[in-house]
Structure 1
Amino acid sequence: MSVIYRYFLILAACTSLLVGIQIPSFVDQYEKRLDAHFIEAQNNLRGYREIADKYHGGSIEALITKHEQSADPTFREEAKPIKNIYQRYLRFSDQKRSLESELVGKAAFIVMHGDEELINETYSNYSFTIPLTRLAVLSGFFTAALVVLVIELLRLLLSLFRFTGRSPRRAWNSL
């Protein structure tokens, strides 16, 4: 193993350790941002919910439909912002339910199904920290181990393909 490769591996491990330590903090900041937007949408919807409770059996959808079908253009136009607020409320509500799990599940959900608006906001306003909590350290070590393992597997595969002139056993033994 060359000196340059060893230093590259150490650098990759250290970098991935620091990135891995950030995962719990990013998830936490994403959840806090989600909570703030959810509360805002809930508050914006409150008055319309009261009207829906009073006149439409609690159905916001019925209230929106009533506005959309109104002869008055003002009420028809009002349906759009009500619908937007309601859809935003539902979107954030679904996100909150989906994040009711452990860190790995939360991180996987954010990566695969996270709200793009919230991810961008969290990333652009993210405050980097080096929390030395048990969860952050484990996350960092797991990320570092995973990155080093992937690098080693790639090195092994490249070495096997490089030694195509030799037998696979000799190529393997020369590693």
Structure 2
Amino acid sequence: MIRKFFVSSIDHAGFTLSFIVGVQLPEFIQQYTQMINGKLAEAQFHLSKFQSVANNHFNGDLQVLVERYTNNADPAIKQTGIVVSELIDRIALLSEQLSQLTEVPYMEKLYYFIVHLDLESAQLTAQHYQLAVPLTIDALLTGALFASFIILIPRAFIALLSAKSSKFYYQEGRH
């Protein structure tokens, strides 16, 4: 009886802790999204300087500026062309990430976050993460799903091992 109480208490504590961690995921995604938004704004700011040059000298065509720079014999200018090209690509990537994190339903956002996580941005977000207790449906649902997953996976694994060992036991004729 004491063992059952102890196991039940551990299950409840594990579920509660898992729920609290799971509830934090939507808040982490929100802060991660803000980090991506900040990176995008910074990249757009830097690109705007080159866009001004393109406006003044290349009829606003940034691609012409990049081609001119990258085809220039001066290595410094050539390297600047490569930097501008990478900046354009970075803005496209960050824009796509931001779109997927802000303009889609929650479950799609969660899937995108898990599958396409930018580790550098996640680490920066984690360094500056502010704990919160979001009481939104998404947060509560995520907490419940995460806690259920954490509790059920070990139980399923134990049940599978028990079933296999029982099957082995009965096959050997040791019953």
Q: 1:54, CA displacement in angstroms?
A: 4.8
Letter paired with 1:166:
Y
Would you identify which runs of 4 or more consecutive aligned residues in structure 1 move more than 6 Å? Answer: none
Are the equivalent residues in 2 in contact too, given 1:95–1:114 (CA < 8 A)? Answer: no
Count, aligned residues: 168
Which residue of the partner structure matches residue 170 of structure 2? 166
Shift in Å, 1:55: 4.4
Deviation at 1:57, TM superposition (A): 5.5
Q: In 2, Cα distance between the equivalents of 1:120 and 1:55? A: 40
In structure 1, C-alpha distance between the alignment counterparts of 2:73 and 2:148, rounded to whole Å: 64
Deviation at 1:135, TM superposition (A): 2.5
2:136 corresponds to 1:140? no
| Cα offsets for 1:35-59 (capped at 9, x unmatched) | 1111111111112123334544544
Q: In terms of mean alpha carbon deviation, does 24-33 or 81-90 score higher?
A: 81-90
Partner SS state of residue 169, structure 2 = coil
Specify whether residues 73 and 156 from structure 1 end up closer, same or farther in structure 2 by C-alpha distance, changes over 3 A only: closer
In 1, Cα distance between equivalents of 2:133 and 2:38 = 24
- What SS does the corresponding residue of 1:166 show, helix, strand or coil? helix
Whether 2:15 is the aligned partner of 1:10: answer no
Deviates more, 1:38-47 or 1:157-166: 157-166
The amino acid across from 1:20 in the alignment is: G
Where does residue 71 of structure 2 map in the other structure? 69
Aligned partners of 1:47 and 1:22: how far apart in 2? 38
Whichever residue aligns with residue 73 of structure 1, its letter is: P
Work out which of the residue numbers 101, 118, 122 in structure 2 matches 1:115. Answer: 118
The gaps in structure 1 that reach 5 residues or longer are 168-175
- Give SS of 1:165's match: helix
| Native 8 Å contact 1:26 1:126 kept in 2 | yes
Q: For the residues of structure 2 that align with 1:154 and 1:111, how far apart are their CA atoms?
A: 24
TM-score (structure 1 length as normaliser)? 0.82
Provide the alpha-carbon RMSD of the alignment.
2.4
Of residues 18-27 and 44-53 in structure 1, the stretch that sits farther from structure 2 once superposed is 44-53
Deviation at 1:74, TM superposition (A): 3.5
SS of match in other structure, 2:135 = coil
Report the residue type matching 1:5 in the other structure: V
Contact 1:24/1:103 (<8 A) preserved: no
Kindly report which structure 2 residues correspond to 1:29-44, keeping only aligned pairs within 5 A, or say none: 29-44=31-46
Structure 2 runs not aligned, ≥5 long: none
Describe the SS at the equivalent of 2:132: coil
